[in-house]
Each structure stands twice: as C-alpha cells, then as structure tokens.
Structure 1
Amino acid sequence: MILSNRSKAVLSFFLVLVIILTLILAAEGIVRVRQYIKYGTFYGVTDLYFDKNSGIHTPLPGMRTASISINSLGFRGPEIEIPKPDDRLRIGFIGASTTYCAEVSNNDMVWTDLVSRGLESSISGLSVDYINAGVPGYTTDTSLINLEKRVVPLQPDIVIIYHATNDLSGETRALAETAGIERTNLAAEESWLGQYSLLWHLVQKNLALMMLQAPSEAELLKMDPQSIGDEFRQNLEKLVDVAYSNGSNLVALMTFSIHLRDGMTIDQQKDAMISARYYMPYLSADDLLGSFKQYNQIIREVAEKTGALLIEREHDIPGDPIHFNDSVHFTDKGSLLQADRVVSALVNSNEFQKIASAKKNEL
C-alpha cells in the first residue's frame, strides 16, 4: 500500500507526538524516582501522613529511603525506647523542616542526631536519645499540638525549640494580602498540571524563582519589621510553658540562622533568598533580614521571661552556599555547626550539667 503525501505527513506528526510524549513520561518517571530515593515519596517532601490521634500531619511511620528514616512513631530518627529507661537522657526537638532536615545527605547528618552523639562524646557515661519532632511546614501553632499530643507522652527531659521561618512567612503574607499585593504565595499559584506532574511542578517553580529575583517596588510590602511577631511571641511562651508543666527539666530556645546576612552583594543576596523569594516574594532583602532579626529578638526576650535556656551563636554558621542549601535549610556542613552550637550551650549550662549528673548517677 502506497501512502499519499498527506497520509505520510499525518503519520509523521503522530510519530513525533508519540516520541515527545514518551520522552515527557520518561522525564516524569525519572524525577519521581529521584524524589522517592531522596524523600521517600513520589511527589513532594511535604507529602505527609494525617495522624488521626493528634489531628495533624506527620511523617509516615516506618518510611525508609536512602537518606531518610522515619521510626515507627512517625519521627525522623532511630526508634525510641518505651518506657524510657531511668538512666536515659531524652531530648525533644521541636521545629519544622529546618529540624527535619530533608536536605542533608543522610540520617547521621541531621543536626538533632549530631547533638545526641555530641553530648554522649562530651560527657562520659551519659546515655542520650532524642525525638526529632520537626515536620516540614509546621509553625509554632502546629508544634504546640505536636508537643502536647506526640512528644510529651515520650517524657523528654529537655525540650529544644527551633522555629521562625514558617511563622514569619504566614504573618507577613497576611500583611501583604491586606496591602493588596497580588503575588503573596507562589506555592498557591500552582497550575492544575503542576498539582499532578512533578516535572511541571519543578519547571514552574524554577521559572517563578527566576522571575522573582528583582521584584518591582509595587510588589514589595512596605513594613516595619520591629512591629511584627506578637503571635510568634505568644506561641513560644506557650511552648515553653507546656514543656515545663509536663515534666521537662530544661527548655531551650534557639535563635534562628539564615543564609542572608548584612553586607552581601546583589548576587549573594539572590543566592541567599532563593527559597525565601518563593514563599515571601513581597519582602525586600533588607526587610527579610530585619524581620528575622526581630524574630530572633523575640526569641531572646521569651527566653529571659520564661527562664528557658537561650542558645545563640546563629552567625557561627556562615551565610554561604557551603552551609545553606537555600535560604534556611542546612547542608551537611551547616548541620554540623548547628549541632555544635547546641552541644556547646548545653554542656556549658549548669542546669544541663545537673540533669546529666542525675542520669549518670542512675547507671
């Protein structure tokens, strides 16, 4: 059978279309497999399991990937012994994705794990385990529920709280929406296709980030960073109160470390604000930096008011791509320095030394 030129053209068109679709599906498969290997989900790192008992989303219990391990209770890290041994010092880490640490290379490089091992190395005979209650997307509101429903029953002797960026994003986004700024949450602007195709989601997200490196004046929120943070302050005080009132012997508040720093060039600011531009596109570099400074000041004031241990030295983690994967998430090297400032603060705390000595005496 001899095909006409028209038939050949139609056949060629459909053949090319099939090839293009096959390549797209192959690319989709590749990015999903890569996502699964790294995060344990075929879609996104923030795809979480809804825990009916607590009423919040948590990591999927028992999930395992090449770089992430979730224990049977739904916390990142090793299994937690129940009941807690009398001679065991247990630390509960409260936070969000910057505590969960999906960006580090493996479970051993999560700063919560490094803190546990660092304390055992620093104090001979001390047995330490931990609860990594950090969950991507959590704010202090969600962490209050997490602390009460999931962490307190595990009897942490020490609770360490590391929060800021998600609360700041939510608070400033509300201000931007009130001010009539159109682009306040790029994640919410996802196209229909982006909700189902990881490949298109990544393409769309990266294109949005490229377009947002230099927002116009009309797209920026006019604000006074020193006027924000009231709800954040209240929730931090509640977290400290809940921890102390439920048996923890020591609560620590950590100042928040970010990639962006004073004195950066425009190009350095672009690198430092890469993810902040996605979630807070309406903030200038100066206002973003000022807002985090305000939140850190609130952390200091809450620590003083409540008697919580204050862990500072946030600038000991250099603001560069070697230590930060994006605007706030650590690389392995950043995680090491984050753990170092926690271990140093605890070891130099008289209250911690008393708790550690009591645990050692029970051996």
Structure 2
Amino acid sequence: MTDKKPAPKNKGSFLPNLILAGVSALFTLIFLELGARAYLFHFATDDDFTTFASLKQLEKASRQGKVGGDPQISHHRYLGYTLTPNYEDDENRHNSLGYRGEEIIQPKPEGEFRIVCIGGSTTYTTRVDDYRLSYPDLLEKELQERGYTNVNVVNAGVPGWESWNFLIDFELRTLDLDPDMIIVYSGYNDFKPRVVEPESYKGDNSGRAAPMIERVYMPGWLEYSTLYRIVAILSGWMEPHTSYNTINSSPKSYLADEFHDQLEDGTYPTDEFEEMTVQEILQANPPIYYQRNIENIVAIAQSRNIKVMLATMALFSQRPDIDQRAGSPEYQFAIAEHNQVLKNIAQRRNVSLLDFAATFPRQEQYYDDGVHVTEAGSRLKAQMFANFIVEQSLVPKE
C-alpha cells in the first residue's frame, strides 16, 4: 500500500481569492455605510443626529426642516462662531437673529427701553435649560414687576466668547438693535487667551484662536464617511463637527486646554509647565487686551449715548472638587485682575459698576459649578442686577 501524496496547492487561486476577499470587504463597507446613513437620517434621535452628522448633512437636514438639523453654534465669518438662529431644543431656543430667547421686534418700538446683556455662557446662562429662566429674561420680569413696563432685555450671551468676540459683535450686530443700555458681565473666558506662549500673546488673539475655515470643507477624506464618524466619535478619536472644541480650534501656542486637562488629572504642573508655570505665564501676559476690548465697547456705547453697566465676575472656589478651574489659584488670580480692570474702566469712564463678585453669596445652592449659576442662582442674580439698576436710576419709568 503506497502513501498518497497531498494534492498540490493551486498557486494560481491566491490572487483571485484575494480579489474576491477585497471585493467582499468593499461591498460590506458600502452596506455598512448605507446602513449608517439610513440610521442617521431615519432612526437617530435629534441629539444623536446632531452629534454624528457632518456639517454638510446638518445643512441638508436644516433645509429639509428636520428637527435636530441645526447645531447650537454655527460658523461666522467675522465672529468665528455664533448662536445658530432659530435653534430649538426642548425648552431652549434662539430667535431668528441668533440670540437666546423670544423674537426681537425690529425696528425698536417707540417708547421701549432696550437693554442688551453682553457676555459668555454666564450671560447665556448655560446649565439653566429653559431660556425663560436665564438671568436676562428674569431681569426683564423683575424690572417690569417693579413698574418698568417699557423695558425689554435681550440675552446676547454666547458660550465660550471672549472680549474680542464681544467687541466685534457689539459693532456688527448689537448696535443694530438700537440699545438704550448694555450690561457687560465677563472675565472668565478671557483667562484662556492669556495662557499662551508669551511670544504669541498678541492683540489679534492669534495665539489663542486659529482660523475656523478648515472644518467647513472637511479636509480629512475619512470624515465624509458617516460610518467612520460614528465609530470615531464613539471611540473618542474625534470630536463631533458641532462640538465647541471642533469649531473653536486653537494653534499650538495655546496652552490653556493642557492646563485644564492636568488640573482634572491632578498632574499639574507637567510637560509644558515645568519651565514656566501658568501663574508665571499670566504675569507675563497681563490683561491689556481684555482692558482694551472692554474699554472700546464702553467708548463706542458712550459715543452713541448708550448707558453702560459693568459687573464683576463671581467665582465659587470653595469646592475645587466641583470645578477644578474655579478652585485653582491661577483662575482666581486672573479673574481678580479682570475684575479690577472693570473697576478701573468704570472709574475712568464714569459708568456704573456692580461689584457682583463682592456681593453674590458663595453658597452651593446658587452654583452649578464654579462659575455657572443654577436656576436659584439665576433668579438671585436677576434680582441683584434689578436692585442695582433701580438704585442707580439707570432705567426711566414709562
């Protein structure tokens, strides 16, 4: 009995098998891609759609009137980004002009005294979901209940905005509202522009903010794939196209995000801050541009007979476990400097200043974190602002 030799392998079958495997994989990916797109447009929740959709898909959905088709913030040619007009999400909304709240009648009705509140997320009143409970809306109710029935208060706050944004927006949009008075409550976000490499600390804020054009055109070819975006976002490889970090991009000279990460990890100071601490960076980059920007807003307002009210920024630093930033000596140092800038401007320009930082109670019930208020805090803030406005006779009765 002889042993049978195994049949020789067909060497010529390798290439066809490889091609077949490649074609199968390609069709599988195409099938999964089509499935991902079908899920996104027909089965995803509004929140998931806004999270996973590309900017082009969001634009398409918005044209079709799909709920959730509009992100909360959108690119803007001169402001970098701004609030998306006509945005709605449960109890939150933006009007057609891109301000949080109800529609604004334009031109301003005769006899109306219009107040515009300028600031970042603390004016927008982030962490309070109902726009009707934001501090500007509650301020309007407070004043009207006290007999100032001709008052209309506009919430012009935009989360993440710095004094550069305030200045540009004031000139390009706020003045078109024909305000009789403005309230400026800011200072927290201007910590970030100062935490840059000192040689990059410049008046145009180029050390902090990068051009925001690249994301509009989606340079990464993989980002055209809905399947890839969903997997990458879920895996933490990339941010949603609508996220603040994606739209508000920064150059390498910007160091504040690394500082924030190290605060959260409990590793500060490491890496970039071993040779120069954040405290030393702040001292090397004094708030000269914050002062310039706010003072220019005040000067423009005064040139148009618009009343000005400034308010210092309050921090809840007693609980670092709630907010490491507000509890850090670096933030406390910077915000104290910014508050002093506001006091100096008020004195030089002879405008009203509410020392909110010195009077707002440091009680946990009023703070959602170290700087944003709760609903109770929003109500108290509105009451305190209304008290000051009445005491200073800043608003005439009808």
Normalised by the length of structure 1, the TM-score is: 0.70
Gapped regions of structure 1 (runs ≥ 5): 1-17, 179-183, 186-191, 278-283
Structure 1 match to 2:47? 32
| Amino acid in structure 2 at the alignment position of 1:238 | N
- Output one character per residue of 1:199-226: Cα deviation in whole Å (capped at 9) or x when no partner: 4559999xx8597342333444242866
Q: Does 1:243 align with 2:294?
A: no
The structure with the larger Rg is 2
**1:221 lines up with 2:278 in the alignment:** yes
Q: Which residue of 2 aligns with 1:356?
A: 396
The Cα of 1:136 is off from its aligned counterpart by 1.8
Q: Does 1:307 align with 2:355?
A: no
Instruction: Tell me whether 1:48 sits opposite 2:71 in the alignment.
Output: no
Q: How many residues align?
A: 301
Cα shift at 1:255: 0.3
* Map of 1:70 onto structure 2: 94
Q: For residue 32 of structure 1, report the CA deviation from its aligned partner.
A: 2.9
Question: Contact 1:32–1:43 (CA<8 Å) still a contact in 2?
Answer: no
- After superposition, what is the alpha-carbon deviation per residue over 1:311-332, rounded to whole angstroms, capped at 9, x for unaligned? 1132444445532223322221
Q: Quick one: structure 1 residues 307 and 199, their matched pair in 2 at CA, closer, same or farther if it must change by over 3 Å?
A: farther
The worse-fitting range, judged by mean Cα deviation, of 112-121 and 239-248 is 239-248
Shift in CA distance, 291/56, structure 1 to aligned 2, threshold 3 Å? closer
Q: Which residue of 1 aligns with 2:188?
A: 165
**Alpha carbons 1:317, 1:323 under 8 Å: kept:** no
Return the TM-score normalized by structure 2.
Answer: 0.65
Q: Give, in angstroms, the shift of residue 153 of structure 1.
A: 1.4
* Cα deviation, residue 30, structure 1: 6.4
Higher helix share: 1
- Paired residues of 1:312 and 1:341 also in contact (CA < 8 A): no
Deviation at 1:177, TM superposition (A): 8.1
For the structure 1 residues 102 and 234, does the alpha-carbon distance in structure 2 shift closer, same or farther, using more than 3 Å as the test? same
2:169 matched to which residue of 1?
A: 146
Select which of 309, 313, 316 maps to 1:256.
313
* Alpha-carbon separation, structure 1, partners of 2:50 and 2:341: 36
Distance change >3 Å, CA 256–CA 120, structure 1 → 2 = same
Could you tell me which residue of structure 1 aligns to residue 56 of structure 2? none
- Mapped to 1, the partners of 2:263 and 2:333 lie a distance apart of 23
CA deviations 1:291-341 (Å, max 9, x no partner) are 111111111111111111101132444445532223322221221122122
Aligned counterparts of 2:364 and 2:50: Cα–Cα separation in 1? 22
Residue deviations 1:247-277 (CA, integer Å, cap 9, x gap): 41x10111011221xxx4xxx212132xx38
Q: Check conservation: 2:139, 2:386, Cα contact below 8 A.
A: yes
Alpha-carbon distance, 1:102 to partner:
3.1
User: Is the CA contact 2:198–2:281 (under 8 Å) kept in the aligned structure 1?
Assistant: no
SS in 1 for 2:382: helix
Q: Is the 8 A contact 2:71 2:84 kept in 1?
A: no
In 1, Cα distance between equivalents of 2:282 and 2:383: 29
Take 1:343 and 1:202, find their aligned partners in 2: how far apart are those partners?
46
Counterparts of 1:1-363 in structure 2, within 5 Å, are 32-33=47-48, 45=72, 47-50=73-76, 56-122=80-146, 124=147, 126-175=149-198, 199-201=234-236, 212-218=264-270, 219=273, 220-223=277-280, 228-248=286-306, 250-260=307-317, 264=318, 268-273=319-324, 276=325, 285-319=328-362, 321-350=364-393, 352=394, 355-357=395-397, 360=398
Q: Distance in 2 between matches of 1:241 and 1:120?
A: 29
98-107 vs 213-222, greater mean Cα deviation: 213-222
Mean Cα displacement is larger for which, 214-223 or 300-309? 214-223
Aligned-partner residue type, residue 313 of structure 2: F
Structure 2, gaps ≥5 residues long: 1-31, 52-66, 202-207, 210-221, 240-244, 246-259
Q: Given the superposition, is the C-alpha separation of residues 41 and 338 from structure 1 closer, same or farther in structure 2, using an over 3 Å criterion?
A: farther
Alpha-carbon contact 2:127-2:368 (below 8 Å) kept: yes
The CA distance in 1 between the partners of 2:176 and 2:91, in whole Å, is 28
Paired residue secondary structure (1:217): coil
How far has the Cα of 1:175 moved from its partner? Answer: 4.4
One-letter amino acid of the counterpart of residue 74, structure 2: L
**Retained in 2: the 8 A contact 1:324–1:330?**
yes
- Quick check: 1:61–1:75 contact (8 Å CA) kept in 2? yes
